[in-house]
Amino acid sequence: MSRKAQPAADPRLETRLAGAKLRNPVLTASGTCGYGPEYADVLDYRRLGGFVGKSVTLNEQPGNEPERIVEVRAGLLNAIGLANVGLRSFIDEKIPFISTMPTVVFANVAGGSVEEYVEVAGTLDSYDCIAGIELNVSCPNVADGLMFGTDAVLLRRLVAAVRPAVKRGCLIVKLTPNVTDISTLARAAIDGGADALSLINTYCGLAIDTKTWKPMLANVTGGLSGPAIKPLALYNVHRVYRDVARAANIPIIGMGGIECTRDAIEFFLAGASAIAVGTALFIDPTIPVKIADGLSAYLAERGLSHVSELTGRLKL
Ligand SMILES: Cc1cc2nc3c(=O)[nH]c(=O)nc-3n(C[C@H](O)[C@H](O)[C@H](O)COP(=O)(O)O)c2cc1C
pLDDT in tens, 46-102: 999 999 999 999 999 999 999 999 999 999 999 999 999 999 999 999 999 999 999
Q: What is the mean pLDDT of residues 271-300?
A: 98
| pLDDT beyond 60 at 4 | no
Answer yes or no: are the C-beta atoms of 60 and 83 closer than 8 Å. no
Centre of ligand 1 to C-alpha 279, Å, is 7
- pLDDT of amino acid 5: 67
- Residues whose CB falls within 8 Å of the CB of residue 290, separated by 6 or more in sequence, listed in order: 260, 261, 284
Question: For 271, how many CA atoms within 13 A lie in the half-sphere containing its CB?
Answer: 25
- pLDDT of amino acid 1: 45
- Residues whose CB falls within 8 Å of the CB of residue 40, separated by 6 or more in sequence, listed in order: 1, 97
Q: What is the mean pLDDT of residues 291-313?
A: 98
| pLDDT beyond 60 at 277 | yes
Q: What is the mean pLDDT of residues 107-132?
A: 97
High-pLDDT (> 90) share of the chain, %? 95
Centre of ligand 1 to C-alpha 261, Å, is 19
Identify the three-state secondary structure at position 62: coil
Ligand 1 mutation target, pool 117, 173, 225, 266, most atoms within 8 A of CB: 225
Cβ of 222 less than 6 Å from ligand 1: no
**Per-residue pLDDT tens over the stretch 133-144:** 999 998 777 777
| pLDDT beyond 90 at 126 | yes
- pLDDT of amino acid 138: 82
Give the pairing of strands 208-209 and 50-52. unpaired
Q: What is the mean pLDDT of residues 113-124?
A: 96
CA 297 to centroid of chain Cα atoms: 25
High-pLDDT (> 70) share of the chain, %? 98
Ligand 1 mutation target, pool 26, 27, 28, 30, most atoms within 8 A of CB: 30
Answer yes or no: are the C-beta atoms of 126 and 169 closer than 8 Å. no
Centre of ligand 1 to C-alpha 206, Å, is 16
Centre of ligand 1 to C-alpha 5, Å, is 30
Q: What is the mean pLDDT of residues 256-262?
A: 98
| pLDDT beyond 50 at 305 | yes
Answer yes or no: are the C-beta atoms of 176 and 144 closer than 8 Å. no
Catalytic residues: 139
Q: What whole-number distance in Å separates Cα of residue 244 and Cα of residue 229?
A: 22
Q: What is the mean pLDDT of the chain?
A: 96
Answer yes or no: are the C-beta atoms of 159 and 194 closer than 8 Å. yes
Q: What are phi and psi of 109, to 5 degrees?
A: -120, 135
Centre of ligand 1 to C-alpha 151, Å, is 21
Q: What is the mean pLDDT of residues 144-169?
A: 93
Q: Is the pTM of this model over 0.95?
A: yes
Q: What whole-number distance in Å separates Cα of residue 239 and Cα of residue 304?
A: 25
Q: What whole-number distance in Å separates Cα of residue 52 and Cα of residue 134?
A: 8
Nearest CA, atom 14, ligand 1: 31
Q: What whole-number distance in Å separates Cα of residue 242 and Cα of residue 237?
A: 8
Q: What whole-number distance in Å separates Cα of residue 103 and Cα of residue 93?
A: 19
Nearest CA, atom 11, ligand 1: 136
Nearest CA, atom 22, ligand 1: 256
- pLDDT of amino acid 2: 44
| pLDDT beyond 90 at 147 | no
| pLDDT beyond 90 at 163 | yes
Cβ of 136 less than 6 Å from ligand 1: yes
Identify the three-state secondary structure at position 5: helix
Question: For 206, how many CA atoms within 13 A lie in the half-sphere containing its CB?
Answer: 7
From the candidate CATH numbers 3.40.50.2300, 3.20.20.70, 3.30.930.10, 1.10.1240.10, the one assigned to the domain spanning 3-63+81-204+224-310:
3.20.20.70
Q: What is the mean pLDDT of residues 223-247?
A: 98
Answer yes or no: are the C-beta atoms of 252 and 311 closer than 8 Å. no
- Residues whose CB falls within 8 Å of the CB of residue 247, separated by 6 or more in sequence, listed in order: none
Answer yes or no: are the C-beta atoms of 278 and 31 closer than 8 Å. yes
Q: Which atom of ligand 1 is nearest to the CA of 78?
A: 1
Q: What is the mean pLDDT of residues 196-225?
A: 97
